[in-house]
Amino acid sequence: MMDVVRQRLPRLGEDPAREYRLGIMGGTFDPIHYGHLVTAEQAREALALDLVLFMPAGAPAFKLGKHVSAPEDRYAMCVLATAANPAFYPSRFEIDRDGVTYTVDTLRALREEYPANVKLYFITGADAILDIVSWRDAASIAELATLIAATRPGYDIGQAQASIEESGYPFDVRYIQIPALAISSSNIRDRVRMGKSVRYLTSESVIGYIQKNGLYRFEGNERDA
């Protein structure tokens, strides 16, 4: 298993004389959409990231008990949506691990995989950053990675900032303002189920995949998020 995982991670950090920056965009990606892609691209540019890994969660810790599409489908859509960007790499890292996914475990594993001249940057939207102080072993997350917190319509980044400051954990957070896209995976799933258009909310390739594989068509796929 570890060999498979290692093979699938892109190489980074070859030149010991320079620093490299690896972005990690975690999420359920059910499905991936333009909100995720714009967030990752703006983060890449703002923080001069060398690569961004799109890492669909295997069994997301916070979505237990809710219906989530098969990891292979969520991963496949990440492959399709990121194909044209040379800095974006879909990653099987979490879906190939057994059990519940915790961000701290992923960051620890990446820290072991990459040399010390590769710095880790964990990218989140304003909703996820608000929760991060309550994630498992938040203090270690703070030590392992710099956080990039992007604005997201409907969520108050100031509130997230306050909760991070109150937590007392030594988080290093870079706040970035990005073009507002009020797109969510939940809304896309709802629209597909209702037979409404999702065109221009995500890539044509992802829409094709959803249709071809009959994703989100049934009530059982409905869940709050």
Residue type, 24: I
- CB nearer to ligand ATP: give 162 or 180: 180
Closest approach of ligand ATP to the CB of residue 11, in Å: 25
Sign of CA dihedral 78, 178, 45, 49: negative
CB of 22 to ligand ATP, least distance (A): 17
Overall residue count recorded for the chain in this entry: 225
With respect to ligand ATP, which residue has the nearer C-beta, 163 or 186?
A: 186
Would you give the distance in Å from CA 149 to the centre of its chain?
12
Number of other CB atoms surrounding residue 213 within 10 Å: 14
Lookup: tokens for 139: 């203090």
> Which C-beta is closer to ligand ATP: that of 37 or that of 51?
37
Q: What is the DSSP letter of 134?
A: G
Minimum distance of ligand ATP from residue 59's CB (angstroms): 14
- CA-CA-CA-CA torsion sign (203, 131, 153, 21): negative
Nearer to ligand ATP, 13 or 66 (CB): 66
| Min separation Cβ 16 and ligand ATP, Å | 32
Q: Which residues are near ligand ATP by CB under 6 A? A: 27-30, 35-36, 39, 124-125, 127-128, 150, 152, 181, 183-186, 225
